[in-house]
């Protein structure tokens, strides 16, 4: 160990911060060995000033979610092609890019990682990743729960070699697992041929994704090393994939266990000492109350995925009413200081249904499932403790999911889709757009049939030449959606009332088709009333319901229309959104021209 006098943070100070967390996970004897090894590992990375950075985000932060090969061309690597697309089309629109796992893998489109420290050569190399990071803040996945069965670690396990032989959970095949909560119907324990005979290893997600044993402190140290490597390669956000399952304790539900929370808090504490500007985000697709627990006491995740939003917003637009959205919004506490919600409506996975538990009645839930099936969706199931199965997620392109309502397809697909994205970017939190939402990508039935996996329906790989042709045609859905969403995002990025932690209050207009809420800037110098018609019919808003201050001038940021009669009525077109503000921050010189949507707004 280096002498502590030369360290930015002494071993004693380091121990004072980390020991109480590790004590909740490991035995005293383990900690005595673990602490100096951990300190040695991070000592050169430690910063002398590691106060919490409360300025990691503001209203300007917008993220894109994409695979490294969502756009491909013949004359450049996928990551180089992605970088070209970003700089051509999104340089003034998004500020950060979540590149989904870009490591060598064996299955699950990257989430069965073979090597956490290498870039998949089919995508490019670290230089390509870092090139994207020069213009955009990068998010990397830390797939901390499991590793590929083709990894060196698991091969070592099968050969009874160090270090991997002690990295996995090996249990008798008759170990009771009925109480284990998980999103799959496959067996929890998978038999594996090893040099010592058949052994049964824990596999939460698939036989190719073998869970790691964090009761071995060496596994924890391996992932600290990986986190440090990601920071060196430019990660500004680290996404903890499927992190709720991290700790296993047979006989329990094996999700959200106290040790899991303590390990995440330790990750955060170490990052705080290494680079306070890096944010941890937890991915836990579970009911809302469970999800909120990952904020901890302001000492765990900096951001949590807002998993309830996608299914509830989809259902609201299917039904043309805002009641469940309002109920959910009123139940959401403001994010703690130094924390934020991560808002999204679509991702590389399906639309999770567990967050609807306790919010949607059985009949309405079934209508949602049936409607999505009629629009081309696949429904993925999960096993319950009683042996039955229940719907776990809807697998569909969001653009196609919004092609109609519970009454069937209609002519309002683009307006309905843009409304969904406008709601999302208006809410408290940081907005994240899946690349296939910005590109209005339809269901990839051919891709799904080729892979045999439901999720492939929403993981299309665009041919760059084909995409360029569509984006050059102003009447294509791709060009229309990208242009209008880019315009709205750029307006949104300038509004202080859309700071991720700005005040948010749910409003209650008499009309159930209207979803409305109020945002107020941290300095209280700007208000925005965000109002959305969730139906395919025009609806009237009575402005006196908003109690607008009559000493201010009010205008709609989206249309540019002024509101002079604050006691009058305003007629919203189907799926129209309004950002009514008293103090617009609007730089017309840096905002694209309004996309002509009159041909879309059909009354």
β pairing state of 96-99 and 63-66: parallel
Binding residues, as ranges, are 108, 146, 239-241, 348-349, 455
Alpha helix segments (H runs only) across 298-397 = 309-319, 323-331, 362-374
Sequence-distant (≥ 6) Cβ neighbours of residue 51 within 8 angstroms: 276
Phi (first) and psi of residue 217, to 5 degrees: -60, -20
Which DSSP state fits 293?
G
Name, in order, each residue with C-beta under 8 angstroms of 524's C-beta and a sequence gap of 6 or more.
none
* In the block, residue with structure tokens 């707004």: 601
Contacts of 250 (CB under 8 A, 6+ apart): 171, 175, 176, 177
Contact 224, 270 (CB under 8 A): yes
Q: Pick the catalytic residue: 141, 208, 211, 241?
A: 241
Helix 309-319 and helix 323-331: axis angle, to 10°? 150
CB 500 within 8 A of CB 429: yes
Task: For the chain, state the CA radius of gyration.
Answer: 25
Distances from the Cα of 490 to the Cαs of 83, 93, 421, 562, 590, in angstroms? 20, 6, 13, 20, 8
| Binding-site sequence positions for substrate | 108, 146, 239-241, 348-349, 455
In angstroms, the first-to-last Cα distance of the chain is 73
Residue from 389, 391, 396 nearest 318 by CA: 396
241 is catalytic: yes
Tell me the catalytic residues. 241
């Amino acid at each position: 160990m280096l002498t502590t006098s030369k360290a930015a943070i002494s071993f004693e100070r380091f121990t004072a911060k980390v020991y109480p967390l590790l004590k909740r996970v490991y035995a005293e004897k383990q900690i005595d060995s673990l602490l100096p090894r951990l300190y040695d590992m991070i000592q050169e990375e430690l910063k002398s000033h590691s106060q919490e950075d409360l300025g990691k985000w503001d209203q300007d932060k917008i993220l894109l979610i994409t695979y490294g090969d969502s756009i491909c061309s013949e004359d450049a690597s996928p990551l180089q092609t992605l970088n070209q697309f970003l700089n051509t089309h999104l340089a003034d629109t998004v500020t950060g890019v979540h590149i989904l796992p870009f490591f060598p893998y064996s299955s699950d489109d990257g989430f069965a990682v073979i090597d956490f420290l290498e870039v998949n050569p089919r995508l490019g190399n670290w230089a390509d990743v870092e090139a994207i990071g020069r213009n955009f803040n990068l998010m990397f996945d830390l797939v901390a729960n499991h590793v590929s069965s083709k990894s060196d670690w698991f091969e070592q396990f099968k050969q009874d070699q160090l270090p991997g032989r002690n990295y996995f959970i090996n249990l008798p095949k008759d170990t009771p697992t009925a109480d284990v909560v998980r999103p799959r119907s496959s067996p929890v324990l998978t038999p594996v041929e090893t040099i010592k005979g058949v052994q049964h290893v824990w596999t939460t997600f698939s036989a190719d994704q073998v869970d790691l044993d964090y009761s071995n402190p060496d596994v924890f140290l391996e992932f600290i090393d990986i986190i440090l490597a990601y920071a060196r390669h430019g990660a500004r956000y680290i996404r903890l994939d499927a992190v709720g399952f991290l700790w296993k304790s047979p006989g329990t539900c094996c999700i959200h266990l106290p040790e899991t929370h303590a390990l995440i808090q330790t990750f955060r504490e170490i990052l705080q000492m290494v680079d306070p500007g890096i944010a941890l985000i937890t991915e836990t697709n579970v009911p809302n109350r469970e999800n909120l627990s990952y904020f901890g006491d302001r000492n765990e995740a900096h951001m949590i995925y807002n998993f309830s939003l996608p299914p509830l917003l989809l259902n609201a637009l299917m039904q043309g009413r805002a009641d469940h959205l309002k109920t959910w919004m009123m139940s959401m506490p403001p994010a703690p200081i130094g924390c934020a919600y991560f808002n999204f409506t679509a991702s590389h996975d399906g639309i999770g249904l567990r967050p609807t538990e306790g919010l949607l009645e059985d009949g309405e839930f079934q209508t949602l499932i049936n409607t999505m099936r009629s629009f081309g969706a696949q429904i993925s199931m999960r096993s319950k403790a009683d042996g039955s199965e229940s719907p776990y997620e809807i697998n569909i392109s969001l653009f196609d999911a919004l092609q109609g309502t519970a009454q069937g397809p209609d002519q309002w697909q683009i307006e309905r889709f843009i409304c969904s994205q406008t709601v999302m970017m208006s809410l408290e939190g940081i907005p994240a757009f899946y690349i296939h939402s910005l590109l209005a990508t339809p269901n990839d039935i051919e891709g799904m049939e080729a892979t045999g996996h439901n999720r492939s329906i929403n993981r299309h790989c665009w041919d760059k030449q084909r995409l360029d042709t569509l984006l050059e045609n102003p009447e294509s859905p791709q060009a229309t959606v990208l242009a209008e969403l880019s315009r709205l995002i750029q307006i949104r990025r300038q509004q202080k009332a859309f700071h991720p932690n700005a005040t948010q209050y749910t409003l209650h207009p008499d009309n159930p088709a209207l979803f409305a809420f109020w945002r107020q800037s941290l300095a209280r110098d700007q208000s925005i009333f965000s109002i959305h018609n969730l139906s395919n019919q025009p609806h009237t808003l009575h402005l006196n319901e908003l109690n607008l201050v009559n000493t201010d001038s009010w205008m709609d940021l989206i249309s540019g229309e002024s509101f002079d009669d604050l006691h009058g009525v305003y007629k919203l077109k189907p799926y129209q959104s309004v950002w009514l503000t008293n103090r617009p921050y609007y730089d017309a010189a840096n905002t694209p021209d309004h996309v002509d949507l009159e041909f879309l707004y059909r009354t």
